[in-house]
Structure 1
């Protein structure tokens, strides 16, 4: 069975023949890195909680309290949607531009509107919480001068994995340099 979420691994091989843009079809949106362990663990916990809530909905439905079962079913579906949205969050690239997907919003910037993609030292949010720490961020600078942070080394994908952040930042920068010039 093909596992499409593992296709990002091809970008990080150890062969000298590996290229920064290893995908055959550059028109599809791709995340150039794997979801991190914190993101996967959070989604797994949400899915575990959703399974308990759905079992509770089934028990409540068999007991005859359909409004309560419907409420539990709705809560279980909300938990599943939240877990999927959490897994989808991150930076996605294609020939058309770069897309930053967060939990509540999605921002897409075409390569024509990007002035630069670079890694900067700045205060970053730790696991998306209000607490900030000094770290690195991959920032897309729009032609209007407005920066859009794409990745940080302290988010759920790269916390305690600086090599993975460097590889992902280099890959996104390579996509940017390839298609901003075109």
Structure 2
């Protein structure tokens, strides 16, 4: 039984797409949406942070019951920070709408209107493996701006969302290129 609320790219399945369906599967183009599902590495890292946060919050409860409220408050703040980090980690990625393209990083968010985007293309180049300093040869989705230097690589086939999922990377790159082609004009 499919769970449609879990799949961000459910309309892009080749099995469910009809011949007369639009190239872009979106009902409300004004809402920000991620055109792909978060990958297992990203979800796994967030789950580990949430698990650690539960241990820290249990520690805060135990410390509070022993009577040390400042220590319990410190543990509760650390636990809340870990939960916030896990949720932000799940939001990291590329989001699109009719307004533009939004690149969400762990600590900052960059939004470019479609009028500022000159081209969206996939290139073969050295990419970072899971965001670590080690680089490997792979594909990256590059956004060229009309003015200024290009954006940092939006997607790579070796990041936390697409490692060992090359078909998901290709599908996400195609969808982002289609959004750019439709809304840049």
Q: TM-score, normalised by structure 2?
A: 0.92
Deviations 1:69-125 (A, max 9, x none): 001000000100000110000000000110111111111111000000000111111
Does the Cα contact within 8 Å between 1:12 and 1:167 map onto a contact in 2? no
Query: How many correspondences in the alignment?
Result: 180
- Superposition pairs of residues 26-105 of structure 1, within 5 angstroms: 26-105=29-108
Q: 1:9 and 2:10 equivalent?
A: yes
Gaps of 5+ in 2: none
Residues 140-179 of structure 1 correspond to what in structure 2 (within 5 A)?
Answer: 140-148=143-151, 149-179=153-183
Task: Give, in whole Å, the separation in 2 of the partners of 1:3 and 1:40.
Answer: 18
Aligned to 2:121: 118
Deviations 1:32-60 (A, max 9, x none): 00000000000000000000100110111
Return 5+ residue gaps in structure 1 as ranges: none
RMSD between aligned alpha carbons? Answer: 1.5
Q: In 2, Cα distance between the equivalents of 1:104 and 1:5?
A: 26
Runs of 4+ with deviation above 6 angstroms: none
How much does 1:21 deviate?
1.8
